Amino acid sequence: MEEKIIKTEYSEVMQKSYIDYAMSVIVARALPDVRDGLKPVQRRVLYDMHELGIRYDRPYRKSARIVGDTMGKYHPHGDSSIYDALVVMSQDFKKGLPLVDGHGNFGNIEGDGAAAMRYTEARLQKITQEAFLSDLDKDVVDFIPNFDETEKEPSVLPVKIPNLLINGSEGIAVGMTTSIPPHNLAEVIEATKAYMKDETITTKQLMKYVKGPDFPTGGIVINKDELLNIYETGTGKIKLRGKVEIEKAKGGKTNLVITEIPYTMIGANISKFLSDVAALAETKKTQDIVDITNQSSKEGIRIVIELRKDADVENFKNMLYKKTRLEDTFGVNMLAIADGRPETMGLKQIIKASVDFQFEVATRKYNTLLEKELERKEIQEGLIKACNVIDLIIEILRGSKDRAMAKECLVNGKTDGIKFKSKGSQIMAEQLRFSEKQANAILEMRLYKLIGLEIEALIKEHEETMANIYRYEDILARRDSMAQVIMNELDAIKKEFGTPRKTVIENGEEAVYEEKKMEEMEVMCLMDRFGYAKTIDLPTYERNKEAAEAENKYVFKCKNTGRICIFTNIGQLHTIKVADLPFGKFRDKGIPIDNISNFSSEKEQMIFVTSQMYLNLYRVIFGTKQAMCKVVDGGEFDVAKRTVAATKLAEGDEVVSVAIVDNLKDVILRSKDGYFLRFSVDEIPEKKKGAIGVRGMKLGAGDYVEDIRYTYNGMEGPLVYSDKTIEINRIKLMKRDAKGTKLRL
C-alpha cells in the first residue's frame, strides 16, 4: 500500500485534538444533563441497577457486582469513579434526595470514606424506581449503543422531577466547572407547577415557591437579597452560616453548640474547623475557650465549645464567623448540558427545560400506550365477535387440515378444503373477515373463555380499553390535559417524598467582631535548636535565666505587639508576629516556626533570629560563602510582608552570617582551607538590601568561607573555633580583600 502523507499545520491538529478531548470530558463525563440532572456515570449506575432488578423492595446486592456490571456494560472507565458515584448518590448529607439505598459503611459527614465495594451493598430508593426509571419500557427516551455496541443504554432517564435543582451537582470539566446547590423537593415541584400554569412567570415570582437552596446539612443562607440575581444569571455566591445555639452549663459557664454546619464544611473541613478553633486559643486570639468537643453522631451534628463565665458570647460567635469556616461561601455556577452543549442557565431556564422534557416524555409515553390499547381493542372486538359465532368457528377448526387453512378462512373467507356440516355454514364462513391479529387471537383462545362470566369480563375489559383510548387521545390532543396529568404525578411525588425545608433563608447582619486590643508589654522570646519558639514574661525569664540560655539557641527581648525576623541561608527574611507565638510557662514546648511562617526547615536554614525592634535601632552585617560582605540599615527590614529577600546573592552563594552591628570591632573570616582574615568592621561599606556587597576575602580555587566571627570593643578574651581556643593576637589584623593567614588549630 502506497504511503500517504498529509501535510497540515501542527497547531491546527493540536487545537482540534484538544477541542475533541474537551468536549468529550464536558459532555460525556463531567457535566450533568439538564433534563435528568445526572452525569453519565450516575445515569449508567442507576440504569444498571434497574436492569439487574435491584429494586427498593428487593434484597440488597453487593456494590462490587453493580460496579463490575456497570463497567463491563456501559462505563468503560475506572471502577473507583463508578463506586464513588454510587456512594455519593447514597449519602443523605450530600444529596437532598438520595437515589441509592446503601447498606453498610458508606462514609459519614466528617469525611471518613466508604468501605470497599466488596463489603457494602446497595439497592435503588423507592423514588428512584418510581420517578426516574418507571417508564423506560414505554419508549419514552432514545436508547443508544454502549461503548462496544453490544448493549443499549438510555441517552437520558425519563425523570419526572427537576432533579438538577433538587439534588444539585458539582463537576470540573475542561475549561469550565459546574456548581449547583441542592433545593427542596416540594418547593421545586410547586415552582414547576406554577411555570406550567403560566409560562410567562418571572424568576422573582418563581422564588415565591423556591425560597433558595435547601442544603441537607441545614445551616443559614444570609444573603437573601442576592439570590434573585443568582437565580436569574445562574452564577453568584451564596453566603452560608452554621446554626449556633447557646446553652447554660454548670458553674455559670456558657456552651456554644453548633447544631448545623455550612454545606461547604462537609468532610475534612469539620476537623479543620475544630483545629482552627483550637488555634484561636493557642495563639491567644481569644482566651474565652475552656474546652471544645465534637459530640456529633448519627442523630446529627453537635460541636460543643465551652466558654468562660465572663465571655462575651455574641462577640465570640462573630469571631467564629470571621476567623473560621462556620461562615463560608458556596460558589454557584449552574452549568449543564442542554441540547448537546454546555450552557449556564438560571432557575426559570432549568425548570423550562425540565417541563419541556416532561411533555416530550409524556407524549411518547401516551403514544405508546395508545398504540397498545388500539391493538388490544382490535383483539377484544375480534374475540367478542368470535363468541357470537363460536359454533361456526369450531366447525371451521374441525374441518380444516391445518392452522393456515383455518386462519385463511377467518381472515379472507376462503373455504377451499374445509369440510362443513352444511352449505349454510360454508356460506356464513365465506363472509368472515377477521383481521390478522384477531384471527391469531381466536386460534390461540382457550375453551374456558367461552364461559358466560369470561365473556362478560371480556366485554367489561373492552369498555375499559375504549375509556383508556378516549383518555389517551384527549391527553395527546390537548396540552392542558397532558399538563394536568404531569401535575398530578408531581403532586403524588410531593405527597410521598416531600420533606420540610432544612436551610433558613434570611438577610443576616454582617458579623462584627471586636478584637480585644493586646496590652503592650516586653517579653522574652525563646527558640531552641529545633525551631520551637515561645514567649515568656520577664520575671519568669529572670528566674530561669541560666536554663533558658543553655537550652535555647536564640534568646532575646521583644514586644508582644511586634515582629520577629528570621534570616536564612538562602537570603530570605521571614517575619512572624510575636502574638502568634504561645505565651506561657517556661517549660511549655512552644510551636514550630514552620507552622506559623513561610520558613521551611527542609529547604533553608536559620542563620540569625532577632526582634524587628532591634533591627530598627541598628545596622545589620551580612557575610556569605563567597566572602561577600555588606552592612545594611536595619530599618530596611521593617516590612509588613511575611517573606522578602533580605539580600541579593550571586549564583551558588549563600549566607553564612548575619549580625547586628552594635559595638562590633573586627570581622574574622575562616575559609574551608584554614585561612583566617581579620579586618575592621569599618572597612565594610553600607549598602541597600538589594545589593550583593563587596568582597571581604580572596579565596583560592575551591575554597569558601566556612565561618564568620566578630570581636567587640573591649573584648580581649580568646575566640572558640570548633571547640578549640584561639588567641585573638594570633590572627593578624589586615585589610579587607586580603587572602589572610593560615593557622594551625
Task: Give yes or no for residue 663 having a pLDDT over 90.
Answer: no
The grid coordinates of residue 133 equal: 426509571
Q: Of the candidates 148, 211, 167, 219, which has an alpha carbon nearest to the alpha carbon of residue 42? A: 167
Task: Give yes or no for residue 18 having a pLDDT over 80.
Answer: no
Task: Give yes or no for residue 258 having a pLDDT over 80.
Answer: yes
Task: Give yes or no for residue 38 having a pLDDT over 80.
Answer: yes
3-state secondary structure 267-309: CHHHHHHHHHHHHHHHCCCCCCEEEEEECCECCECCEEEEECC
More confident residue, 347 or 561: 347
Q: pLDDT-based confidence at 715, cuts 50/70/90?
A: low
Interatomic CA distance for residues 526 and 574, integer angstroms = 17
pLDDT at 6: 73
Q: Of the candidates 606, 594, 535, which has an alpha carbon nearest to the alpha carbon of residue 566? A: 606
Task: Give yes or no for residue 743 having a pLDDT over 80.
Answer: no
Sign of CA dihedral 274, 276, 278, 281: negative
Interatomic CA distance for residues 502 and 483, integer angstroms = 30
Interatomic CA distance for residues 30 and 9, integer angstroms = 30
Q: pLDDT-based confidence at 378, cuts 50/70/90?
A: confident
Q: At what angle do helices 452-477 and 347-388 cross, to 10 degrees?
A: 150
Q: Of the candidates 246, 248, 275, 245, which has an alpha carbon nearest to the alpha carbon of residue 261? A: 245
Furthest CA-CA distance within the chain: 151
Lowest mean pLDDT among 14-28, 109-123, 549-563: 14-28
Q: Of the candidates 484, 473, 453, which has an alpha carbon nearest to the alpha carbon of residue 377? A: 473
The grid coordinates of residue 262 equal: 455550612
More confident residue, 3 or 193: 193
Enumerate residues 6+ apart whose C-beta is below 8 A from 409. Answer: 396, 400, 415, 418, 429, 432
Interatomic CA distance for residues 522 and 536, integer angstroms = 9
pLDDT at 242: 92
Task: Give yes or no for residue 541 having a pLDDT over 70.
Answer: yes
Interatomic CA distance for residues 21 and 355, integer angstroms = 31
| Cα–Cα distances in angstroms (integers) from residue 618 to residues 311, 526, 572, 596, 663, in the given order | 43, 21, 19, 26, 10
Q: What three-state secondary structure class fits 607?
A: strand
Residue given cell 365477535 in the structure block = 385
| Cα–Cα distances in angstroms (integers) from residue 632 to residues 19, 617, 659, in the given order | 55, 12, 10
Q: pLDDT-based confidence at 278, cuts 50/70/90?
A: confident
Interatomic CA distance for residues 431 and 11, integer angstroms = 78
pLDDT at 500: 94
Q: Bin 335: left if φ > 0, else alpha if -120 < ψ < 50, else beta.
A: beta
* Cβ atoms of 67 and 117 closer than 8 Å: yes
Task: Give yes or no for residue 429 having a pLDDT over 70.
Answer: yes
* Cβ atoms of 79 and 67 closer than 8 Å: yes
pLDDT at 376: 86
Q: What is the pLDDT of residues 575-612, one digit of tens each?
A: 998 888 888 788 888 888 888 888 888 889 999 999 98
Q: pLDDT-based confidence at 419, cuts 50/70/90?
A: confident
Segment 163-180 shows an average pLDDT of: 88
Residue given cell 430508593 in the structure block = 125
Beta strands 591-592 and 532-537 are antiparallel
Task: Give yes or no for residue 671 having a pLDDT over 60.
Answer: yes
Segment 208-223 shows an average pLDDT of: 94
Task: Give yes or no for residue 130 having a pLDDT over 90.
Answer: yes
Lowest mean pLDDT among 452-466, 544-558, 626-640: 452-466
What's the mean pLDDT when you consider all of the chain?
88
pLDDT at 717: 62
Question: Count of residues for the chain?
Answer: 745
pLDDT at 28: 63
Q: What three-state secondary structure class fits 522?
A: strand
Q: Of the candidates 122, 130, 159, which has an alpha carbon nearest to the alpha carbon of residue 48? A: 122
Q: What three-state secondary structure class fits 82?
A: helix
In order, the DSSP letters of 612-648 are: HHHHTTSEEEEEETT-EEEEEEGGGG--SSSEEE-S-
Q: What three-state secondary structure class fits 54?
A: coil
Segment 705-722 shows an average pLDDT of: 76
Task: Give yes or no for residue 270 having a pLDDT over 60.
Answer: yes
* Cβ atoms of 79 and 41 closer than 8 Å: no
Interatomic CA distance for residues 629 and 681, integer angstroms = 10
Segment 565-578 shows an average pLDDT of: 92
pLDDT at 151: 92
Q: What values do phi and psi take at 602, rounded to 5? A: -80, -25
The grid coordinates of residue 103 equal: 447498606
Question: What is the DSSP secondary structure assignment for residue 595, as one 8-state letter?
Answer: H
pLDDT at 451: 65
Beta strands 220-221 and 504-505 are parallel
Segment 338-348 shows an average pLDDT of: 91
pTM: 0.72
Does the annotation mark 470 as catalytic? no
> Count of H helices and E strands in the chain?
22, 35
Q: Which one is catalytic: 21, 119, 470, 712?
A: 119
The grid coordinates of residue 627 equal: 566572602
Task: Give yes or no for residue 719 having a pLDDT over 80.
Answer: no
Segment 291-307 shows an average pLDDT of: 88
Task: Give yes or no for residue 114 having a pLDDT over 90.
Answer: yes
Interatomic CA distance for residues 719 and 736, integer angstroms = 20
Segment 70-74 shows an average pLDDT of: 94
Task: Give yes or no for residue 745 having a pLDDT over 70.
Answer: no
Task: Give yes or no for residue 354 having a pLDDT over 80.
Answer: yes
- What is the identity of the amino acid at 110? E
Q: What three-state secondary structure class fits 681?
A: helix
The grid coordinates of residue 305 equal: 465549645
* Cβ atoms of 552 and 527 closer than 8 Å: yes
Write down all domains in the chain, each with its CATH number in brackets.
38-156 (3.90.199.10), 243-325 (3.30.1360.40), 356-495 (1.10.268.10), 522-742 (2.120.10.90)
Percent of the chain past pLDDT 90, that is, above it, reads 50
pLDDT at 433: 81
Q: Of the candidates 572, 593, 695, 698, which has an alpha carbon nearest to the alpha carbon of residue 645? A: 572
